[in-house]
Chains A and B, each alone.
Chain A
């Protein structure tokens, strides 16, 4: 049971990041390889704010904790959104205007990813395991369903992730922006003929993906640790999660992320050495793709709603 909770925690963070991949894939049919750095920047941005608010964290009154958490999520999300927006402007839009081949986007994103992660390292140090100031008892056990221990941080992560996912789901299905995103993911040229501003919508899609990724960055940093190269591995995993659920499909990304997190954490349960966790995760991915070549929920953002 404990593993399930751990899996859900990790999975909800994967899901948040995977949403960024899937949203961008939906509108551009491209893998945004630099999304892992968007995620990273979220952790950095939130650290700056949290650090500013609590210092070393020792003297934080307990009433302030929720506000600090919210401030962390918001600042992480905003930082990452700014980075994601800039990324689209610099690494994607010029290529789109030139009608570059698909792989050129991938490579420019990879270049941007190297650049961002190393620039962050240059400016803020290259330690790989920085941690947030200990401003609260994040490992306090809140309740024990079926003998599992649910820690408060895990609860915060799962609840806030689910809240954000529901928000996104509503956003995509009911708002005008959501309709534009879905229209573009169905058929961009036609959407443009229907008067949808493609540039603006794509830009906003990046921003939404950045918001979610940045929030995930904060939660991830709080739960584990953070540094300028933190993005890579969760990025790859989240990308796998997005594919697992059916890339381009929003609900698919959520399910894929949760599933991948749970599978990873169930590995020790079925008596496999944890060294093989990643192998198991990828084997599951390959098996799913063998039988459902377009992921669990198939493709297309449009069908999500």
Chain B
């Protein structure tokens, strides 16, 4: 079996890994004054011992892996692990009440312990019930998995729901108690609830597992595919009830008013009738009607009813938004809390209701169109069975599941930002949104055409500087007839980036992979150095001399001025991202997308099939570059001032990392990768010393590539390459390589 030397190596690896993790966890250590002192200081610490002990545990686990593995593949184990980790993370890392300053779980817990008259639920939860219920759930699911006792699974599922409700109530009590201190935007409780919901899945999967449902994936797929659209309706219903029953709708002067409170606040203030009706009964009615319509439609698979549910739900979103506008507008008119215009002082409740109604409507929509593609999937399923492929190869293969995922993503993108605080809003726009656009653009080059471009940020820079030029912010002024608003600069920036892409691509694309990488890298650096050094043109390292103005749209009746807050940019960006995504989705499934896949897979064969590989590559380059140019325009007009430092080589490399981390060649992957990896530094800022962020990100990226080389959401075409079906090595010469001796 295992040789002693292997065991020793494994032990050393575990201990070494534990040491590294321990070092990562520690505070900033010494300096060069005394090098060895620094080493001593970081190594001889008690926490290092703890981690070394953990290393030994991991070693033992690995050594007895073969005995453990059968249990790991049993249904419910992975969600159990994921849920447990999520709950623990929420209770160790996340903020639970923003009003209390540094409001991590422990702080809140001690504050609760010192507070008199808080609800017993809260004091129990923060006093240890949180851990107790987690442990009990783990024990229940564990027993169910190991002993095959399904009833324990049901119990765990029930307990998870109870635990989630307790967490919610406890947090609500604390937030209510502390509301005079300020608004609460903490996420801890929500992450905790998500963790419990995953544990709920663990319990249910264990409880319902039987022969056909051999693992969690199958179980989840089955559950999702059982009634397309129903999961969304359920989520929406729960969210809607929370929003309407207990969330804050209007919070001037930190007075958190729920739906009912808001209604009484605005009684007799001349609020528009539709808003009054909404607050009184229409909101609840919309929720109820849409839930019933969409729910029944998906359960009984009645398509027309699904459309009706979609109509009511989506109409409800519009009405909710209108109501929110009316409330906040009136509030601002009355001069409360220095509100300068509509949309201010709104709580999260209204937006949650929007999201809920949107999801319910989407559930109806999915139910309405479900039968059509249920047939299609049934057909491909039989094909899959015929060819021996397993249908369980991925999550979200159930009919409607992918669509549900997209709908949830849209709901979050639409309705989360208004509830976020200013900091996160600006992160959403200037980090997440723009880098998502960049990643989607680079995905064309790297993911689809398979060309490694390490100077992608150069096009972004060109886009930004083009904008700065066209709005007259550079030392070099455009002719007066050309000077324009940033939004109008988009086509010009796209054009210039396109030309730059062609100019770079034309001479270099004949180079093979790694040569291309270094040449593009050099190009990126050249652009940046030119920006730094060409003082007369670019104002050098200072960046544009005057601020790039915010865009304005003035079409008579419709007049929008950007720059009042980040949300405007967010929604503008969202529109662009959606347009780009739709266009690229089509492109991927067109002859051009297939040509890219072909040259990536086998360039010689692609040529022999008549593909002009050079032109196709150049096209990928140009399309990627122009997307990047659009991002550049946004960046320039959003930040106003920028410097060449925004376009350093590191950023190019990071964008490549986003694309690969998310899953090369997959649009959702590129989005998820960019969003996650741009979100993470901002998130980690509060959790680890700020200077260590890059280290943690490096570790996360490394771990992802080791354990999931295809990335977060691998593309179908790429997933195949990963699954080892690439037949070039052994399978091609079955006669030449005797069975079993293939590499």
| Interface positions of A (Cβ within 8 A of B) | 25, 29, 31, 33, 47-48, 51-52, 86, 89-91, 94-95, 98-108, 110-119, 121-127, 130, 189, 192-193, 232, 236, 239-240, 243, 247, 273, 275-276, 278-279, 282-283, 285-286, 289-290, 293-295
Contact = CB atoms under 8 A, between A and B. Distances in A.
A228 to B, nearest CB: 10
Contacts of B518: 239-240, 243, 285
Given A106-B656, A236-B649, A125 B705 contact: no
Interface string B657-681: 1001100100000000000000000
Interface string B715-732: 000100110101001000
Given A25-B514, A95-B705, A101-B721, A125 B698 contact: no
Contacts of A189: 729, 743
Nearest to B446: A103
B698 A112 contact: yes
A124 B38 contact: yes
B691 A121 contact: yes
B691 A90 contact: no
A192 B709 CA distance: 24
Interface stretch (B21-29, B461-469, B610-618): B21-29
Contacts of A286: 507-508, 519, 522-523
Interface of B is mostly: helix
Nearest to B711: A104
B653 interface: yes
B579 interface: no
B519 A285 contact: yes
Contact of B38 (A114, A115, A123, A273): A123
B709 A275 contact: no
B24 to A, nearest CB: 7
B517 interface: yes
A130 B525 contact: no
B709 A98 contact: yes
Contact of A113 (B660, B691, B698): B698
Contacts of A192: 743
Given A107-B661, A122-B24, A122-B695, A276 B533 contact: yes
Contact of A91 (B24, B653, B664, B702): B702
Contacts of A122: 23-24, 26, 28-29, 691-692, 695
A108 B30 contact: no
Contacts of A118: 691-692, 694-695, 698
B515 A293 contact: yes
8 closest A-B pairs (Cβ-Cβ)? A114-B698, A100-B709, A111-B701, A282-B522, A118-B695, A115-B698, A111-B702, A108-B705
Given A102-B513, A127-B32, A279-B529, 12 more contacts: A104-B709, A110-B698, A111-B698, A114-B698, A115-B698, A117-B694, A122-B24, A123-B39, A125-B32, A236-B525, A247-B515, A279-B530
A127 B692 contact: no
Contacts of B16: 86
Given A276-B529, A286-B522, A47 B35 contact: yes
B487 to A, nearest CB: 33
Contacts of A193: 743
13 contacts: A89-B13, A101-B710, A103-B664, A106-B452, A108-B709, A110-B656, A111-B703, A113-B698, A121-B691, A122-B29, A125-B38, A286-B519, A293-B515
A114 B681 CA distance: 13
B197 to A, nearest CB: 30
A106 B657 CA distance: 9
A290 B504 CA distance: 12
A291 to B, nearest CB: 11
Given A114-B701, A285-B519, A108 B32 contact: no
Contacts of A124: 29-32, 35, 38
Contacts of A110: 653, 656-657, 698, 701
A243 B718 CA distance: 28
Nearest to B729: A189
Nearest to B530: A279
Given A98-B722, A107-B656, A107-B705, A119 B511 contact: no
A169 to B, nearest CB: 23
B569 to A, nearest CB: 29
Given A31-B514, A123-B39, A124-B38, A95 B529 contact: no
B31 A114 contact: no
B700 interface: yes
Given A124-B38, A189-B743, A243-B515, A278 B705 contact: no
Contact of B702 (A31, A90, A121): A90
Contacts of B706: 90-91, 94-95, 108
B653 A119 contact: no
B515 A289 contact: yes
B35 A51 contact: yes
Contacts of B426: none
Contacts of B722: 98-101
B85 to A, nearest CB: 21
Contacts of A33: 653
A108 B702 CA distance: 5
B525 A278 contact: yes
A119 B702 contact: no
A90 B699 CA distance: 11
Contacts of B259: none
B510 interface: yes
Contacts of A89: 13
B534 to A, nearest CB: 10
A122 B688 CA distance: 12
Contacts of A116: 698
Contact of B32 (A98, A105, A130, A285): A130
A104 B705 contact: yes
A204 to B, nearest CB: 16
B109 interface: no
A91 B718 CA distance: 20
Contact of A278 (B31, B35, B529): B529
A246 B13 CA distance: 36
